[in-house]
Amino acid sequence: MRLLFIGDVMGRSGRTAIATELPRLKAGWRLDCVVVNGENAAGGAGITEAICADILAAGADAVTLGNHAFDQREALVFIEREPRLIRPLNYPPGTPGRGAALVEIADGRRVLVMNVMGRVFMDALDDPFAGTEREVEACPLGRGCDAMVIDVHAEATSEKLAMAHSFDGRASLIVGTHTHVPTADHQILPHGTAYLTDAGMTGDYDSVIGVDKDEPIRRFVRKLPGGRYEPASGPATLCGVAVETDDATGLATAIAPVRIGGRLSQARPPFWDVA
């Protein structure tokens, strides 16, 4: 199976990259399943129903979230009627929405997509390890699903790595989001799970993690807020990770970074035809 995970979509710039590039990549790379983190898609804070629909229409099979999941209050309502929109599974019981979704792709195979949030330097949510264990046990790779993607939305590299090694051999891909900076540690772990500490941001990198530079610099230098944080509006780099899995096991056979457009050095998976 050919999987593509796309990192945090940041504002209009990121949305434009998704609308422009994703349909071409899905067709050109013959992608089976695409997962997009959309928690910053609406002006850098949360997601709206219309934006979620646009990302899905562009070719995403599921949209994951994070600590900004409910910054747009409408998400508290429409998440209940959109099963492909997935918030962190370790929110407290009673939180609207779901933390995992079993997505059926075009050929009938099923991909379990999970979203979990870390707790180091983040909100004090429920235990992400225990919550993930419950979902993995309920729908094990190779029996309940043909592939499994876990989006670990977390600040600390150590927490993401601990999560990856805890579930190595039981998921196809474990990928970090949240920091908006792509890391260079893509690898296949000893028991067959593909891993990347952070997929990076799909947004304008002439910025401070996607935000127009002036206000963050002002706050760092003067320690005083001067205005609102606004998403940077220049050309975006679409960032993510490409994974190919073994149809028999659901485990990874290849992994490569993806960086298309914008300011960053370009990267495409060498094991697929280039679109």
- Mind listing the pLDDT tens digit for each residue in 184-239? 999 999 999 999 999 999 999 999 999 999 999 999 998 887 788 999 999 999 99
pLDDT digits (tens, 9 = 90+) for 150-174: 999 999 999 999 999 999 999 999 9
Whether the full predicted model's pTM is greater than 0.75, yes or no, is: yes
Told to judge if 68 belongs to the known catalytic residues of this protein, a careful annotator would answer yes
Per-residue pLDDT of the chain (275 residues; tens, 9 = 90+): 999 999 999 999 999 999 999 999 999 999 999 999 999 999 989 999 999 999 999 999 999 999 999 999 999 999 999 999 999 999 999 999 999 999 999 999 999 999 999 999 998 899 999 999 999 999 999 999 999 999 999 999 999 999 999 999 999 999 999 999 999 999 999 999 999 999 999 999 999 999 999 999 999 998 887 788 999 999 999 999 999 999 999 999 999 999 999 999 999 999 987 54
Would you say how long the chain is, in residues? 275
Coil, strand or helix at 15 = helix
d(CA 88, CA 69): 8
- Give the whole-angstrom CA distance, residue 225 versus residue 222: 8
Exposure of 22 in the CB half-sphere (CA atoms within 13 A): 30
Catalytic residue among 68, 153, 178, 180: 68
Contact 160, 228 (CB under 8 A): no
SS3 79: coil
User: Is the sign of the CA dihedral 70, 94, 53, 198 positive or negative?
Assistant: positive
CATH architecture classification, 2-260: 4-Layer Sandwich (3.60)
105's CB contacts (< 8 A; 6+ apart) are 32, 33, 61, 111
* Residues contacting residue 252 through CB under 8 Å, at least 6 positions apart: 172, 173, 188, 192, 193, 194, 243, 244, 245, 246
